Each structure stands twice: as structure tokens, then as C-alpha cells.
């Protein structure tokens, strides 16, 4: 099966300068674990629940810090036509829980999470 069958075809994002307090509130309200950090159409990084915990542990005022200060900037992606097992293995090997999904032109078109892949495993078993 291909990633195109399981990814979430929406890119939830925040601005690079958006305060972490607002980022955390938006993630909680929308029940998502990661946001793309964007500048226009360009994805600069990914901010995850883990990154928010890092900010809490290291900053005197974490809610006021900009998203870009704690975002993961080494972005790995999945292609729409990639096999879900290959992507799941890469995510496990690299300790990643969320991957942006790109179309053939390199444009980010959504996100796939470990939860999405686990749900697929349950549904197809």
C-alpha cells in the first residue's frame, strides 16, 4: 500500500515567529502532535510535542519563545508513492513520529504519523 492511501492531506502549520504558547494551544485544540513551521510556502522545520517539552525544560519563558527556536530543522519526508512499510521502517529507525508528505514536484501536501500507520496495521490485520 502507498502513503497516498493513509496520509492526512492537509498541512497544519505555524509561522516561524509564532510563540510556543500559541503553538501548543493550537496543537491541543486540534488534537495533533506536530506542526510544520512555515515561511510562506516553504517548510522550515517541524515542531512536535517533544520539542515543546524541550522548551519547557530549558527555557525560563517557554510560552514566549518562537517556534523556530525549538523546531526540528533536519526534515525528512515521505513521497506519495512510497510504500507504507518502507516509510514505517524509516520512521522507526530514525525515531520519527511525524513526516511531511511531498508530491512528485516536492510540494508538501500533508503529514503521516506513526498513529496513521498503526491504524492501518490494525485495519488490515
- Domain containing residue 76: 3-124
How confident is the model over 12-28, as a mean pLDDT? 94
How confident is the model over 8-29, as a mean pLDDT? 92
Report d(CA 47, CA 11) in Å as an integer: 13
What is the number of structural domains in the chain?
1
How confident is the model over 99-110, as a mean pLDDT? 88
Element (H, E) at 6: none
How confident is the model over 25-29, as a mean pLDDT? 95
**Rounded to 5 degrees, what angle do the CA atoms 26, 31, 37 make?**
50
Nearest to 48 by CA among 10, 92, 100: 100
* Measured CA distances, 119 to 30, 42, 65, 83 (Å): 19, 29, 34, 16
Report d(CA 76, CA 114) in Å as an integer: 14
How confident is the model over 29-52, as a mean pLDDT? 88
The answer to whether the beta carbons of residues 3 and 80 sit under 8 Å apart is yes
**φ, ψ (nearest 5 deg) of residue 10:** -150, 140
The answer to whether the beta carbons of residues 82 and 4 sit under 8 Å apart is no
What cell was used for 86?
518502507
pLDDT in tens, 61-82: 999 999 999 999 988 899 999 9
CATH number (domain holding residue 112): 3.10.580.10
Amino acid at each position: 500500500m502507498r502513503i497516498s492511501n493513509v496520509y492526512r492531506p492537509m498541512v497544519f502549520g505555524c509561522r516561524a515567529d509564532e510563540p510556543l504558547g500559541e503553538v501548543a494551544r493550537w496543537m491541543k485544540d486540534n488534537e495533533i502532535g506536530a506542526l510544520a513551521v512555515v515561511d510562506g510556502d516553504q517548510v522550515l522545520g517541524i515542531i512536535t510535542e517533544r520539542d515543546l517539552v524541550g522548551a519547557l525544560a530549558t527555557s525560563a519563558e517557554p510560552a514566549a519563545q518562537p517556534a523556530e527556536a525549538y523546531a526540528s530543522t533536519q526534515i525528512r519526508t515521505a513521497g506519495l508513492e512510497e510504500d507504507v512499510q518502507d516509510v514505517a521502517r524509516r520512521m522507526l529507525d530514525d525515531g520519527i513520529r511525524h513526516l511531511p508528505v511531498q508530491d512528485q514536484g516536492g510540494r508538501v501536501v500533508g503529514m503521516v504519523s506513526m498513529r496513521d500507520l498503526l491504524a492501518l496495521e490494525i485495519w488490515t490485520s
